Amino acid sequence: MSLEQVTKADQPATDDEAMLVRVQREDFSIDEELKRVRRRSKRIGGIAMFLGTARDRSKGKDVDGITFEHYEGMAQKKLREIRERAIKDFGVIEVLVLHRYGELTIGENIVLIIAAAEHRAEAFRACQWAIDELKQITPIWKLERTPEGEVWVEEHP
Amino acid sequence: MVTIQLFGMTKMLAGNQGTLSLSLHDGKRVKDLVSVIDAAYPKIGELLQKKKVLVSVNQEIAHEELEVNDGDEIALLPPFAGGNHRSTR
C-alpha cells in the first residue's frame, strides 16, 4: 500500500464529499457550509451562493408555514447528479447542494447552493443553473399552511 | 403484486395512504400500471393521463412502455415544489 492510499483511508468518516449533497431535517450553518466548500481547494477565487428561505406569501395568499416532503433516495440521487453536472459543465471547482425537509416556519432556511470557482463568472452561472435544475428535477414537494387550510403547491395550477 | 410509493397530493388522493399495493394482470408495462391505478383511483388516474403526475421506476422517470419487474421501486411523482416536471419554465 502506498503512502497516498494510507492517507486517503485515514481521512475522517465524515468525509466532506458525502456532506456536499444532503437532504436533512435540521437547519444548516451557512458559515460551516462555506468552510466545507473552501476546504476543498486553494484554487477557489470566487464563490456564489443561493439561499432559499420560507416566505409568508404565495400567489397572493398568506402562508403560516411550509412542510417539505421528499422522496428518500431519489432526491439525494438527483442532487448528486446536479452537483456532478455543475462541476463538469460549468468548470467550477466545487458545488454544495443542501435541502431541508419537514415542517418549517416562516423565515427559516430551505435550500442552499454554493458554487466555488477560480473566477466569479463560472461561480454565478453554476449556482443559477443548479438552483433552477434542482427545482425542475428533484422530487421534493411543498405543502403550504394558509388560513384557509393546507395546499400542496401546484395542486391547483 | 407491486408496491407503489405515494407522495404529496397523490397520497392525499389515495386516502392518506403512503403506498398502494396493486396486482398487474393484463400486461406489466407502466401504461398497464396506470390503467390499474385509474380503475381504483380515478382522480390519480386523471392526473397520470394528463402527465401532471409521473411514474418513476427505480428512481428514474419512466416511459409508459417500460416493463415493470418484481422488486422494482415504483413511485408516483406529483409536480415538484419548484416547477412542473420541466413542462413549464
Strand partners, B55: B76
Residue A8 lies inside a defined structural domain of this protein: no
Q: Is A9 within the bounds of a domain? A: no
Residue in B closest to A155 by C-alpha:
B9
A124-135 pLDDT tens trace: 999 999 999 999
- Asked whether residue A81 is domain-assigned, the answer is yes
Number of domains observed in the structure of chain A: 1
Domain residues for the domain of A49 are 19-152
Amino acid at A112: L
B17-64 tens-digit pLDDT: 999 998 888 889 999 999 999 999 999 999 999 999 999 999 999 999
Q: What is the pLDDT of residues A65-106, one digit of tens each?
A: 999 999 999 999 999 999 999 999 999 999 999 999 999 999
- Return the CATH number at A82: 3.90.1170.40
Q: Is residue A123 part of a domain?
A: yes
CB contact under 8 A, B81 and A137: no
Q: Which domains does chain B have, with CATH numbers?
A: 2-77 (3.10.20.30)
Let me know if residue A7 belongs to a domain. no
CB proximity A138 to B under 8 Å: yes
Q: Is A117 a domain residue?
A: yes
DSSP string, chain A: --HHHHHHHTS-SS-HHHHTEEEESS---HHHHHHHHHTT-TT--EEEEEEEE--SEETTEE--EEEEEE-TTHHHHHHHHHHHHHHHHH--SEEEEEEE-EEEETT-EEEEEEEEESSHHHHHHHHHHHHHHHHHH--EEEEEEETTEEEETTS--
Q: Is position A111 within any domain? A: yes
Cα A56 to Cα A76: distance, rounded to the nearest angstrom: 27
- Which ipTM score applies to this complex? 0.89
For A75, nearest residue in chain B (alpha carbons):
B59
Please report residues of B whose CB lies closer than 8 A to that of A139. Answer: 7, 56, 75, 77, 80
Q: Is the pLDDT of residue A7 over 70?
A: no
Residue A33 lies in a domain: yes
